Structure 1
Amino acid sequence: MNRRDAIMALFAIGAAAVPVTSNAQALVAGRGGRVARVGVLITSLGEARAYLSATVAGLRERGWVQGKNLVLDVRSPETNVDLYPKSSAELVAARPDVILATTYLAVLAVTDETESIPVVFAAISDPVKTGLVRSLSRPGGQLTGVAFGGAPLVSKRLEILKDAFPRMARLAVLYDVDRQGEAGLAQLREAAQQLGIVLLPLGASRPEEIERAFAEMRRSAADAVLVPASIRFFFERRRIVALAARYRLPAIYEHHLTADEGGLMAYGPDFVAGFRRVAHHIDRILRGARPGDLPIEEAMRYELVVNLRTARAAGFQLSPRFIGRADRVIE
């Protein structure tokens, strides 16, 4: 997505976006008061429109209004995560007051470019274990934000799958080898051992590797598959859902959108609420706080979504008791 497209997309979410240029700043400043510049590095504005809209709304509640005292500069590689370094370099060169980086790979790209500009993150699983910060209470350095889940959340998905399919004995885990994919496997192995389940970890990142991983699941007689959080897998979700259907493998995912689009079930955080909350961190930084002094917050609300249409099409029998656990059922 180029800069003009990003700006037009922000108009579509109800925000009068202004590009970061000296003329734009003069226009806003002419109305009186300080102009805050917030950079945004987002993987796909089209996919995350509702999330960015929530952040904009949260900033508005705190007195930061586009076209008055706030300028957003949005950059996106549009699902091609290999272009993160280019998008990040462009964003840092514009010298915003703070940058919102929406994924783990976005954070790495920004921190590779600058050590001085504060960075607020969202949609990051376990920032301590992945080495981004020292601790949640005192992250230190240039980073703060909202963490979504982590290793305990992956183990919770294992428990949900076992509850749905009590006879499950062999569980495939499709993890992203190019990300922090193995970060939660140690705790997952421990949880699996306690439940008497054999784990079959299969690493992948490229489409052809995902295809091979599912073929290996069949050869290994996997009973189900768990897909941990990964921005690559998020953009490959339709492929993964189709492969799970082809091999008739029950699958659980992080993002509710995957269940909406045909995945059997998903358990994960309320992303809209999390992205709205990052406005708090951005506001504090714009008012002079140091990011390293701002505690990282953890998502508070999690949602289990079950797609009964997918279950019926595959012939999976889910008990009424299990269906009753769901926060939302797709019929």
Structure 2
Amino acid sequence: MKKKFWLGLALASLMTVTAACGGNAGKANTENEGQAANNGGTEGKSYSIAISQIVEHPSLDATRQGFLDALKDAGFVEGDNLKVDYNNAQGDANNFKPIAEKIASDKPDLALGIATPNTQVLVDEIKDFPVLFAAVTDPVDAGIVSQLEAPGGNVTGASDSNPDAIVQTMDFIAKEFPDVKSVGIVIDESQDNAVVMSAVAEEALAKHNITLVKAPVANASDIQQAAESLVGRVQAIYITLDNTVVAGVEAIIDVAAENDIPFFSADRDTVEKGAFATVGFKYYDHGYEAGQMAVEILNGKNPGEMNVSKPQKLDFIINLKAAEEQGITVTDAMKAYVKDPDNNIIQ
């Protein structure tokens, strides 16, 4: 009995000393527990993610960076508790399957496909762990998911297409460039996303009695010749989220500048590079959104229950320097389309 009494007294004294001298430590522990909760309980765990990206170009690279930053902000830090296996197919379809097979064999906690063709192969190969996608224009048409809402199975992701953006761009051309009767499009028709988007553009232009003229390419080396073939036949040029074409877009920028042809794109990065205008969004934000979905999945959410997302932060983006090079007089009416001029009127 005495031993129990003295043991209790000693413990009580120790607790008193700890409370008196370690008040800040107690607060720190509480803060650490809160941070662990914010990080989805990542403390003490390690995770692995594999990425299949079709090719390097600014939009897709920004998508990947946004994805990784969203994970980092949630406590999944590459080199710390997260291993990232990055695979780039270099635009070669022959690399899609070997990359997908490697990822399927390694069985990471999650796989990410960036762009449509390589993601199609990734989804075909992987059935037993989650697959996310980003920079995919029409995941239903591409057979990546069967529906956009709660697609079921092990696949979901972020689509980079909002058809309203294409329609708004075509309406802008029709209203602000009344002399345009034909719009040329440089397109790789093996890219499903490019075909889908060009169809939307063609339908939107037809309502204004404007014709869409296609200049097909098979690879990046064809782009300059295709762009030059449009000179004298069209009064404006447009490109979609076409991985082949975007990767070699400098050739179109040069042709547009040399011949004073207004050049429109479907993505902000190409406008920053030298196209005149688009209705678009930041691919970094798009990737960040996909990364937030990844966080939910790594924390236990079923991907099949997660709706496919699409860009919401759409705005007109205009490049004034490109306008000057392409012989365009930018009016106040054109600038009025831009909701956020500080960020989306590029000097």
Q: Report Cα offsets for 1:56-90 as digits up to 9, x if no partner.
A: 23223333233443221111234556533333333
Which secondary structure does the structure 2 equivalent of 1:305 belong to? Answer: strand
Q: Report Cα offsets for 1:268-292 as digits up to 9, x if no partner.
A: 2221111111122212222333322
Equivalents in 2 of 1:49, 1:185: separation in Å? Answer: 23
Of residues 130-139 and 226-235 in structure 1, the stretch that sits farther from structure 2 once superposed is 130-139
Using the TM superposition, give the Cα deviation of residue 45 of structure 1 relative to its aligned residue in structure 2, in angstroms: 6.1
Partner in structure 2 of residue 187 of structure 1: 200
Number of corresponding residues = 300
Which secondary structure does the structure 2 equivalent of 1:137 belong to? Answer: coil
Structure with more of its chain in helix, by fraction: 2
Query: 1:169 and 1:86, CA in 2 relative to 1: closer, same or farther beyond 3 A?
Result: same
Alignment of 1:1-331 (within 5 A): 33-44=44-55, 47=58, 48-80=60-92, 82-180=94-192, 181-219=194-232, 221-326=233-338, 327=341, 328-331=344-347
TM-score if structure 1 supplies the norm length? 0.81
Q: Cα RMSD between the aligned structures?
A: 2.5
**Equivalent AA in structure 2 for residue 190 of structure 1:** E
**Cα contact 1:170–1:199 (8 A) shared by 2:** yes
The answer for unaligned runs of 5 or more in structure 1 is 1-30
Which secondary structure does the structure 1 equivalent of 2:195 belong to? Answer: coil
**Equivalent AA in structure 2 for residue 40 of structure 1:** I
Which secondary structure does the structure 2 equivalent of 1:191 belong to? Answer: helix
Partner in structure 1 of residue 21 of structure 2: none
Equivalents in 1 of 2:146, 2:234: separation in Å? Answer: 37
**Equivalent AA in structure 2 for residue 330 of structure 1:** I
Using the TM superposition, give the Cα deviation of residue 46 of structure 1 relative to its aligned residue in structure 2, in angstroms: 7.5
TM-score if structure 2 supplies the norm length? 0.77
**Cα contact 2:120–2:143 (8 A) shared by 1:** no
Q: Report Cα offsets for 1:288-323 as digits up to 9, x if no partner.
A: 333222111111112322222222223222222102
Q: Report Cα offsets for 1:183-205 as digits up to 9, x if no partner.
A: 23443333222212122233323
Of residues 159-168 and 291-300 in structure 1, the stretch that sits farther from structure 2 once superposed is 159-168
**Cα contact 1:270–1:299 (8 A) shared by 2:** no
Equivalents in 1 of 2:278, 2:271: separation in Å? Answer: 6
Query: 1:263 and 1:209, CA in 2 relative to 1: closer, same or farther beyond 3 A?
Result: same
Of residues 222-231 and 110-119 in structure 1, the stretch that sits farther from structure 2 once superposed is 110-119
Equivalents in 1 of 2:93, 2:180: separation in Å? Answer: 34
Of residues 137-146 and 227-236 in structure 1, the stretch that sits farther from structure 2 once superposed is 137-146
Which secondary structure does the structure 1 equivalent of 2:51 belong to? Answer: strand
**Cα contact 1:137–1:296 (8 A) shared by 2:** yes
**Equivalent AA in structure 2 for residue 120 of structure 1:** L
**Cα contact 1:75–1:91 (8 A) shared by 2:** no
Equivalents in 2 of 1:184, 1:255: separation in Å? Answer: 12
Equivalents in 2 of 1:131, 1:42: separation in Å? Answer: 18
**Cα contact 1:176–1:203 (8 A) shared by 2:** yes
Of residues 45-54 and 317-326 in structure 1, the stretch that sits farther from structure 2 once superposed is 45-54
Which secondary structure does the structure 1 equivalent of 2:213 belong to? Answer: strand
Which secondary structure does the structure 2 equivalent of 1:183 belong to? Answer: helix
| Identity over aligned pairs, percent | 19
**Cα contact 2:185–2:213 (8 A) shared by 1:** yes
Equivalents in 1 of 2:218, 2:108: separation in Å? Answer: 32
**Equivalent AA in structure 2 for residue 142 of structure 1:** N
Which secondary structure does the structure 1 equivalent of 2:307 belong to? Answer: coil
Equivalents in 1 of 2:300, 2:83: separation in Å? Answer: 17
**Cα contact 1:223–1:250 (8 A) shared by 2:** yes
Query: 1:64 and 1:81, CA in 2 relative to 1: closer, same or farther beyond 3 A?
Result: same
Which secondary structure does the structure 2 equivalent of 1:213 belong to? Answer: helix
Q: Report Cα offsets for 1:174-223 as digits up to 9, x if no partner.
A: 2221111222344333322221212223332323433343233225x211
**Cα contact 1:158–1:192 (8 A) shared by 2:** yes
